[in-house]
Amino acid sequence: MATVAAKILITPEEYIVKERKAEFKSEYRNGQIVAMPGASHQHNLLSGNIFGHIFIQFLDRTCQVYVNDMRVKVSDSGLYTYPDVVVVCDEPQFEDNHVDTLLNPTVIVEVLSPSTEEYDRHDKFMSYQTLKSLQEYILVSQNSVHVEQYVRQNGNWILREFRSLDDMLQLASIECQLAVRAIYAKVQF
């Protein structure tokens, strides 16, 4: 008779203690630690381009933008994740005095990777939707010019898609705009 190994579940508190000591980032999902794969060259360019163009627009504003290493906690689901780019325009709220886990993102951007695309589009997005502060969720393809912008309007999520380098995303919730050409600067397909 074959035996099945039992999944060992840990608490969010155990995860945070381990994560703060870890050499590599991991997400916390449903009581389990899930290692994050390394990012590709394209992925890093896209994340950096988005961060840079938003950062420039925030120079004289109190809004803050983070790239890659700002952990976000989704309290309703217990999910801890590391978005590629996260923006907060209200006073940032953190889980504790370590100031490394944001609770109130306004905009989250995920650059899609083959290994995480399905999760980013479905389960992660479903979890993110429970964040009352979240107003926009952006998915960026690294395989072609394709940006999906989900905007919260009257409790619903409205999808806008951009497939031309000449398109311009209006990020109304943070009073910014992003040229698709700027997002894909130096990215080669």
pLDDT digits (tens, 9 = 90+) for 124-133: 999 999 999 9
- Establish if 98 belongs to a structural domain: yes
pLDDT in tens, 80-117: 999 999 999 999 999 999 999 999 999 999 999 988 89
- Establish if 15 belongs to a structural domain: no
The per-residue pLDDT for 37 is 76
- Establish if 33 belongs to a structural domain: no
Name the stretches of the chain with pLDDT < 70.
Answer: 1-6
**CATH code of residue 171:** 3.90.1570.10
The Cα 161–Cα 150 span in angstroms is 9
**Amino acid (one-letter) located at 158:** I
- Establish if 9 belongs to a structural domain: no
Range of the domain at 153: 39-183
pTM of the model: 0.92
- In the structure, how many helices (H) and strands (E) does the chain have? 5, 13
Contact indicator for 111, 47 with CB cutoff of 8 Å: yes
The per-residue pLDDT for 60 is 94
Contact indicator for 62, 55 with CB cutoff of 8 Å: no
For the chain, the domain total comes to 1
Q: In degrees rounded to 5, what are phi and psi of residue 113?
A: -120, 150
- Establish if 21 belongs to a structural domain: no
The Cα 82–Cα 145 span in angstroms is 23
